[in-house]
Structure 1
């Protein structure tokens, strides 16, 4: 599903122009593709943010530009790291029925068997799908999965109309044995030894005292 957004053609460029656009609660954007010159537009900030949230990583917007309509697939979104508002958006122009290549997230659901650790080895897969029917995500269940269970890309069930492009043998989810505290400490000691890090007795004594100290109390250090 695409969401309709009214866009205005942009004639001013540069950092100063972009700042003025953002002060008006709008977003500068560019639409590329289909052999045409890039279309520079300005979008309403609030409506665009909502459309991106609804559509996910591959949101499809129906941009109304000077009385005509252009389907635009979201390719890159720049967000201010502090204020969290939209800084700039790159779109690719698409047509209805056109096949596009996109990366979609893998969503792991369910609880594996006890004493297991579920590791997501690859959080996204690449698929080919119609521009107007791009899956928001693909779901994989690990409910009751035992130690040693491995789920590969070929095991994923894709929505109708989507074709897997990722190597079918790609490991997506790996269910392993949950490590004990003793095992983690042993691995840490091995890694420190390989790195040439030596612990002196005072460090070990401090750690031992901290382990034995009652809850809420810290071991004193000299």
Structure 2
């Protein structure tokens, strides 16, 4: 189910309008795509943050504008470097019956048997592109790694299929994670085993 966000049209000029909007707790934004002309809007920063907690970054957001509701995805956004406040958001209007592609994080679930035996779990790929209709797009792809022993690994192709979405990758053979042998610390040098340095005999003093 799409999360509804009430938005308002906004002026583009003067440039100071953006600063004024942020002072009022509103976020400058834009809607485009799916035969909708680029439309500059603003949205409540508080409502956007609360909706994001519920719907996730890949959730569907139904923007209520001029009495109409437009299904959208958050295509891009900017946050302030210091206080992490919203700076700008891009909403992509979508057709709910047409598949689209987004990036989803890969989350490893469980403790591998190999880690319990002393191995080290490493993760090399942290996200993948997934394709699905907007209402079925996941924020994360969870992979259970409990069965991995020391020396085991799995690739993108090994991620279990999900009926809701399809994983897309240029190389399905890319290694996602592996359980490696633990590093064996080097033995401390045994001082007793160190051979004594030969005595240096100087030249005999002249008589």
TM range (shorter): 0.7 to 0.9
Deviation at 1:32, TM superposition (A): 1.6
Deviations 1:43-68 (A, max 9, x none): 01111011223333323211000100
Q: 1:46 to 1:180 in 2, by over 3 A?
A: farther
SS in 1 for 2:37: coil
Partner of 1:216: none
CA distance in 1, matches of 2:92, 2:72: 5
1:138 corresponds in structure 2 to 141
Gaps of 5+ in 1: 184-222
RMSD: 1.8
Residue 199 of structure 1 is matched in structure 2 by none
Confirm or deny: 8 A CA contact 1:148 1:176 kept in the other structure: yes
> Aligned partners of 1:52 and 1:45: how far apart in 2?
10
Question: 1:55–1:136: 8 Å Cα contact kept in structure 2?
Answer: no
**Greater Cα shift, 143-152 or 84-93:** 143-152
Is 1:176 equivalent to 2:180 in the alignment? yes
Q: Determine if contact 1:57/1:104 at 8 Å carries over to the other structure.
A: no
Q: Does the CA-based 8 Å contact 2:106-2:127 persist in structure 1?
A: yes
Partner of 2:132: 129
Distance in structure 1 (CA, Å) of the matches to 2:22 and 2:125: 35
More helix by share: 1
Normalised TM-score (structure 1): 0.76
| CA distance 1:31–1:151, change in 2 (3 Å) | same
Partner residue, 1:102: 102
Q: TM-score, normalised by structure 2?
A: 0.82
Is 1:117 matched up with 2:131? Answer: no
Higher Cα radius of gyration: 2
| Displacement of 1:144 | 4.4
- C-alpha distance in structure 2 between counterparts of 1:146 and 1:32, whole Å: 48
Task: Deviation per CA, 1:113-146: give whole Å up to 9, x if none.
Answer: 2321111111111111001111121111121421
Distance (Å, rounded) in 2 between the aligned partners of 1:110 and 1:161: 23
Match of 1:20 in 2: 20
Conserved 8 A contact 2:59-2:134: no
Whole-Å separation in 2 of the counterparts to 1:91 and 1:69: 13
**Change over 3 Å in CA distance of 1:158–1:26 after alignment to 2:** farther
SS in 2 for 1:132: helix
In the alignment, what sits opposite 1:29? Answer: 29
Structure of higher RCO (CA pairs closer than 8 Å, 6+ residues apart): 2
Alignment size in residue pairs:
183
Where do residues 184-199 of structure 1 align in structure 2 (5 Å cutoff)?
none
